[in-house]
Amino acid sequence: MVKHTIFDSPLGLLTAVQNDAGLAAVYMAEHRRRPAQETLGERVAGSASRVLAATLVQLGEYFAGSRKKFSIPLAPAGNPFQHRVWAALSQIPYGEVLTYGDLAAMLGDRSMAQAVGSANGRNPISIIVPCHRVVGADGSLVGYAGGLERKQFLLELEKPARTHTEALF
């Protein structure tokens, strides 16, 4: 059964969607490719299920700076290639960024950068599957379904980790 909850965050309202297998989506209010509201199932309280409750708690910890990895069962809808890209995204450490070419190389073929970018843009589980950690070949902020200002916010939130790591070496 599909159900969703809506909650406030530093990025504005977020909608978490759960299906029978786990967390299916986290959408921002102005999310590109956000599905129609009626496809999100019944609206419930965030405490209505373990998955939704864990999503709210873990995102709250992430925004507070105390969580760097998520431990929520994920169940996004997508084709096999998209799932490979989303799994690769989940391997990008907190505070680090990769280019689309780097991500394509992780998947075995740097020339797939454009296809990787397309799959990245269709990631339905924003923040938790960290598509915001992918930047253009020149390091510029490009393509984020929630808007570049939100991508910048998320990268700035994680910046202390990058600064600290760079200072160590």
Q: Hey, which residues are catalytic here?
A: 131
Distant-in-sequence, close-in-space partners of 88: CB < 8 Å, separation ≥ 6: 103, 106, 107
Amino acid at 72: I
Per-residue burial over 102-129, b if 16 or more Cβ lie within 10 Å, else e, is bbbbbbeeeebbebbbebbebbbbbbbb
Phi, psi of 135 (to 5 degrees): -125, 170
Quick one: tokens of 121? 């843009």
**First-to-last CA distance in the chain?**
49
Rg over alpha carbons for the chain, rounded to the nearest Å, is 16
- Identify whether the C-beta of residue 134 lies closer than 8 Å to the C-beta of residue 100: yes
